Amino acid sequence: MTKHNKGNQQQSKPDGVLPGRRKVLEMMGMTAVALPILGLQACGSDDGAGSAASAMDKVEPAMKDMAKEAEGMAGSAMDKAEGAMDDAQGTMDEAGDAMEEAMEEAADSAETMVKDAKEGMDAAASEGATIASDATAKLDESSPQAAGLGYKHDATTVKNARYAAGQQCSNCALYQGGDSAWGGCPLFAGKQVKATGWCSAYSAAS
Protein backbone atom coordinates (compact mmCIF):
# COMPACT_ATOMS: atom_id res chain seq x y z
CA MET A 1 0.00 0.00 0.00
CA THR A 2 2.80 2.34 0.88
CA LYS A 3 4.72 1.47 -2.27
CA HIS A 4 1.70 2.23 -4.36
CA ASN A 5 1.38 5.73 -2.89
CA LYS A 6 5.06 6.38 -3.44
CA GLY A 7 4.68 5.43 -7.05
CA ASN A 8 1.77 7.77 -7.35
CA GLN A 9 3.84 10.57 -5.87
CA GLN A 10 6.66 9.91 -8.37
CA GLN A 11 4.20 9.99 -11.21
CA SER A 12 2.74 13.28 -9.98
CA LYS A 13 6.07 15.19 -10.23
CA PRO A 14 5.90 15.69 -13.96
CA ASP A 15 2.40 17.04 -13.49
CA GLY A 16 3.80 19.59 -11.04
CA VAL A 17 6.54 20.71 -13.51
CA LEU A 18 4.24 21.29 -16.49
CA PRO A 19 2.07 23.89 -14.77
CA GLY A 20 5.23 25.84 -13.85
CA ARG A 21 6.41 25.92 -17.44
CA ARG A 22 3.01 27.04 -18.56
CA LYS A 23 3.13 29.93 -16.12
CA VAL A 24 6.54 31.01 -17.37
CA LEU A 25 5.38 30.88 -20.96
CA GLU A 26 2.22 32.74 -20.10
CA MET A 27 4.22 35.44 -18.34
CA MET A 28 6.57 35.77 -21.31
CA GLY A 29 3.63 36.05 -23.64
CA MET A 30 2.01 38.70 -21.53
CA THR A 31 5.27 40.64 -21.42
CA ALA A 32 5.59 40.48 -25.20
CA VAL A 33 2.09 41.84 -25.54
CA ALA A 34 2.48 44.40 -22.80
CA LEU A 35 5.68 46.00 -24.12
CA PRO A 36 4.15 47.32 -27.36
CA ILE A 37 1.16 48.55 -25.43
CA LEU A 38 3.40 50.36 -22.98
CA GLY A 39 5.35 51.80 -25.89
CA LEU A 40 2.18 53.07 -27.49
CA GLN A 41 1.15 54.57 -24.18
CA ALA A 42 4.53 56.26 -23.91
CA CYS A 43 4.12 57.68 -27.38
CA GLY A 44 0.71 58.93 -26.43
CA SER A 45 1.95 60.56 -23.26
CA ASP A 46 3.08 64.18 -22.99
CA ASP A 47 6.72 63.10 -22.81
CA GLY A 48 6.33 61.11 -26.02
CA ALA A 49 4.68 64.03 -27.77
CA GLY A 50 7.47 66.32 -26.63
CA SER A 51 10.09 63.93 -27.93
CA ALA A 52 8.30 63.69 -31.27
CA ALA A 53 8.03 67.48 -31.47
CA SER A 54 11.71 67.82 -30.61
CA ALA A 55 12.59 65.28 -33.30
CA MET A 56 10.45 67.17 -35.83
CA ASP A 57 12.16 70.43 -34.85
CA LYS A 58 15.50 68.80 -35.63
CA VAL A 59 14.33 67.17 -38.84
CA GLU A 60 12.52 70.21 -40.25
CA PRO A 61 15.66 72.41 -40.67
CA ALA A 62 17.46 69.49 -42.29
CA MET A 63 14.56 69.01 -44.68
CA LYS A 64 14.55 72.73 -45.45
CA ASP A 65 18.29 72.62 -46.11
CA MET A 66 17.85 69.61 -48.38
CA ALA A 67 15.01 71.33 -50.23
CA LYS A 68 17.09 74.49 -50.60
CA GLU A 69 20.08 72.48 -51.85
CA ALA A 70 17.87 70.60 -54.30
CA GLU A 71 16.44 73.90 -55.52
CA GLY A 72 19.95 75.27 -55.99
CA MET A 73 21.03 72.17 -57.91
CA ALA A 74 17.93 72.41 -60.11
CA GLY A 75 18.63 76.09 -60.76
CA SER A 76 22.25 75.33 -61.64
CA ALA A 77 21.15 72.56 -63.98
CA MET A 78 18.69 74.94 -65.64
CA ASP A 79 21.40 77.57 -66.04
CA LYS A 80 23.71 75.01 -67.63
CA ALA A 81 20.93 73.84 -69.93
CA GLU A 82 20.16 77.41 -70.98
CA GLY A 83 23.88 78.03 -71.55
CA ALA A 84 24.12 74.92 -73.70
CA MET A 85 21.08 76.04 -75.70
CA ASP A 86 22.61 79.49 -76.18
CA ASP A 87 25.86 77.90 -77.36
CA ALA A 88 23.95 75.66 -79.76
CA GLN A 89 22.02 78.64 -81.10
CA GLY A 90 25.28 80.54 -81.53
CA THR A 91 26.79 77.62 -83.41
CA MET A 92 23.74 77.41 -85.66
CA ASP A 93 23.93 81.15 -86.34
CA GLU A 94 27.62 80.86 -87.21
CA ALA A 95 26.90 77.91 -89.51
CA GLY A 96 24.12 79.89 -91.21
CA ASP A 97 26.41 82.88 -91.69
CA ALA A 98 29.15 80.63 -93.08
CA MET A 99 26.72 79.02 -95.54
CA GLU A 100 25.40 82.40 -96.65
CA GLU A 101 28.94 83.69 -97.12
CA ALA A 102 29.92 80.57 -99.07
CA MET A 103 26.87 80.94 -101.32
CA GLU A 104 27.69 84.59 -101.95
CA GLU A 105 31.30 83.70 -102.79
CA ALA A 106 30.12 80.92 -105.12
CA ALA A 107 27.72 83.32 -106.84
CA ASP A 108 30.47 85.94 -107.22
CA SER A 109 32.87 83.30 -108.53
CA ALA A 110 30.32 82.02 -111.04
CA GLU A 111 29.58 85.58 -112.18
CA THR A 112 33.30 86.25 -112.59
CA MET A 113 33.76 83.04 -114.57
CA VAL A 114 30.87 83.91 -116.87
CA LYS A 115 32.24 87.42 -117.34
CA ASP A 116 35.75 86.11 -118.08
CA ALA A 117 34.36 83.53 -120.51
CA LYS A 118 32.35 86.19 -122.31
CA GLU A 119 35.36 88.49 -122.51
CA GLY A 120 37.44 85.59 -123.82
CA MET A 121 34.85 84.78 -126.46
CA ASP A 122 34.63 88.43 -127.47
CA ALA A 123 38.42 88.63 -127.71
CA ALA A 124 38.56 85.43 -129.75
CA ALA A 125 35.83 86.69 -132.05
CA SER A 126 37.64 90.00 -132.47
CA GLU A 127 40.93 88.25 -133.14
CA GLY A 128 39.23 85.93 -135.61
CA ALA A 129 37.70 88.90 -137.37
CA THR A 130 41.10 90.58 -137.51
CA ILE A 131 42.69 87.46 -138.95
CA ALA A 132 39.90 87.13 -141.47
CA SER A 133 40.27 90.77 -142.36
CA ASP A 134 44.02 90.40 -142.75
CA ALA A 135 43.53 87.27 -144.84
CA THR A 136 41.25 89.12 -147.22
CA ALA A 137 43.50 92.17 -147.37
CA LYS A 138 45.12 92.62 -150.75
CA LEU A 139 48.88 92.86 -150.99
CA ASP A 140 50.17 96.38 -151.56
CA GLU A 141 52.68 96.51 -154.42
CA SER A 142 54.57 99.28 -152.65
CA SER A 143 55.06 97.32 -149.41
CA PRO A 144 58.70 96.45 -148.64
CA GLN A 145 58.07 92.72 -148.94
CA ALA A 146 56.27 93.05 -152.29
CA ALA A 147 58.89 95.45 -153.63
CA GLY A 148 61.69 93.14 -152.51
CA LEU A 149 60.30 90.30 -154.66
CA GLY A 150 59.34 92.61 -157.53
CA TYR A 151 55.65 91.78 -157.16
CA LYS A 152 53.17 93.32 -159.57
CA HIS A 153 49.39 92.81 -159.79
CA ASP A 154 49.71 92.66 -163.60
CA ALA A 155 52.44 90.30 -164.76
CA THR A 156 52.58 91.93 -168.18
CA THR A 157 53.97 95.09 -166.62
CA VAL A 158 56.87 93.31 -164.96
CA LYS A 159 60.32 94.38 -166.02
CA ASN A 160 62.44 91.58 -164.65
CA ALA A 161 64.86 89.33 -166.50
CA ARG A 162 63.44 86.27 -164.77
CA TYR A 163 59.97 86.90 -166.05
CA ALA A 164 58.69 84.86 -169.00
CA ALA A 165 55.51 85.50 -170.89
CA GLY A 166 52.55 83.54 -169.56
CA GLN A 167 53.87 83.35 -166.04
CA GLN A 168 51.46 84.61 -163.36
CA CYS A 169 50.29 83.80 -159.85
CA SER A 170 47.33 81.67 -161.00
CA ASN A 171 49.71 79.05 -162.50
CA CYS A 172 52.33 79.33 -159.73
CA ALA A 173 52.81 76.39 -157.36
CA LEU A 174 52.58 78.78 -154.38
CA TYR A 175 49.20 80.26 -155.28
CA GLN A 176 46.37 79.20 -152.91
CA GLY A 177 43.43 80.95 -154.56
CA GLY A 178 42.49 78.24 -157.05
CA ASP A 179 40.31 79.79 -159.74
CA SER A 180 39.63 82.92 -157.67
CA ALA A 181 40.79 86.34 -158.81
CA TRP A 182 42.65 86.77 -155.54
CA GLY A 183 44.26 84.16 -153.32
CA GLY A 184 46.71 83.60 -150.54
CA CYS A 185 50.45 83.05 -150.90
CA PRO A 186 52.83 81.70 -148.21
CA LEU A 187 55.38 84.36 -149.17
CA PHE A 188 52.94 87.09 -148.13
CA ALA A 189 51.28 85.72 -145.02
CA GLY A 190 47.89 87.25 -144.27
CA LYS A 191 47.72 88.97 -147.62
CA GLN A 192 46.19 88.06 -150.95
CA VAL A 193 47.89 88.30 -154.30
CA LYS A 194 46.15 88.76 -157.59
CA ALA A 195 45.79 85.76 -159.91
CA THR A 196 47.29 87.83 -162.76
CA GLY A 197 50.20 88.97 -160.59
CA TRP A 198 53.82 87.87 -160.57
CA CYS A 199 56.93 87.95 -158.33
CA SER A 200 60.51 86.78 -158.67
CA ALA A 201 59.76 83.69 -156.54
CA TYR A 202 57.47 82.31 -159.25
CA SER A 203 57.55 78.50 -159.58
CA ALA A 204 55.46 76.85 -162.25
CA ALA A 205 52.80 74.48 -160.95
CA SER A 206 53.24 70.90 -162.11
Q: Is the pLDDT of residue 132 over 60?
A: no
Q: What's the whole-number mean pLDDT along residues 91-118?
A: 87
pLDDT in tens, 1-27: 444 444 444 444 444 444 555 544 455
Helix ranges restricted to H, the chain: 2-44, 46-136, 144-148
Quick one: CATH architecture of 138-206? Irregular (4.10)
Q: What is the pLDDT of residues 149-179, one digit of tens each?
A: 999 999 999 999 999 999 999 999 999 999 9
13 against 89, higher pLDDT: 89
Average pLDDT over residues 115-132: 71
For residue 180, the tally of other CB atoms under 10 A from its CB is 13
Question: Among 175, 156, 177, 176, which Cα is nearest to 167's?
Answer: 156
pLDDT at position 204 over 90: yes
